[in-house]
Chains A and B, each alone.
Chain A
Amino acid sequence: MPVDQSLVGREFPPTPQREVSRADVDAFATALGGPAGDAVPPTYPIVLAFDAMNAFLAAEEIDLFRIIHGEQRFAYERPVRIGDQLTATLTVASLRQIGGADIIGTSSAIHDASGALVCTAKATLVHTAGAA
């Protein structure tokens, strides 16, 4: 079933605050084959963006396994640091259908506890709709 066109422009509620802990960053860095104890990897904010995407998918009853990542862009206002308390707010930026797939453009604004923008994570999600 195609995704509802009225979604474009909709902003979803901010995700629950997530602390950037040394343990979580080390797990992420080592999963990329890097050392622990280093700076926060630049792709770490995907963890926040993923929280926001999951909430969006749940709200729209879209199955995660039908989602393929088409594009990802990060723009950073400052590096993410250990101890940051971050939330992500996802907006559906665009939606089009190509060959039975929904191409969903999203933008997640990631803010710190003071409300300052830390990073904008823009993702294109390709949703391959099933027969059901």
Chain B
Amino acid sequence: MRAGEAFEPVTYPLTRADLVAYAQASGDPNPIHQDEDVARSVGLPGVIAHGMLTLGLAGRAVAAWTDGAEVVELGCKFTNPVVVPADGAVEIVVAGSVKKVEDGLVTIALEVTCGDVKVLGMPKAVVRA
């Protein structure tokens, strides 16, 4: 991997059923990810995906691009909610490029969007080269 190298963006669909599965598997029962009324009561536009589900998808993309390289750092801000409708799916698109390669570590700048809106702020992964 070289600095400037761009990876092929990956698209992941998300449905309400995915939120239920993620809630069970991760142990996060927060009803803002399941219940429209609760989500609205705390000022959200509707049921939103777990931020960690979106970051988890970004982690999947990194693993696919780097052939499962060891991840040393992973993080982001959750800047815009991913609103998931009761019916149908939304699409999360994960793009990324190599920002720098230094001391055996590869820093990957990510861009994670849903409907052309950036949902993660400065998402970044560092993997072992």
Contacts and interface: CB of A to CB of B under 8 A. Distances in A.
Interface of A: 24, 27-28, 30-34, 38-39, 41-43, 46-47, 50-51, 64-76, 79, 122, 124, 128
B60 interface: yes
Interface of B: 12, 18, 21-22, 24-32, 38, 41-44, 50-53, 55-57, 59-60, 62-63, 68, 70-78, 121, 125
Given A31-B18, A73-B73, 13 more contacts: A30-B21, A31-B22, A33-B12, A42-B71, A46-B26, A68-B78, A72-B55, A72-B76, A76-B72, A79-B70, A79-B71, A122-B75, A128-B42
A74 B74 contact: yes
A113 to B, nearest CB: 20
Contact of A41 (B59, B75, B76, B125): B59
Nearest to B38: A65
A113 B101 CA distance: 33
25 contacts: A31-B53, A32-B22, A32-B56, A32-B57, A32-B60, A41-B63, A42-B62, A42-B74, A42-B125, A43-B56, A46-B52, A47-B27, A65-B30, A68-B78, A69-B50, A70-B77, A71-B77, A72-B76, A73-B73, A73-B75, A74-B75, A76-B70, A76-B73, A79-B71, A124-B77
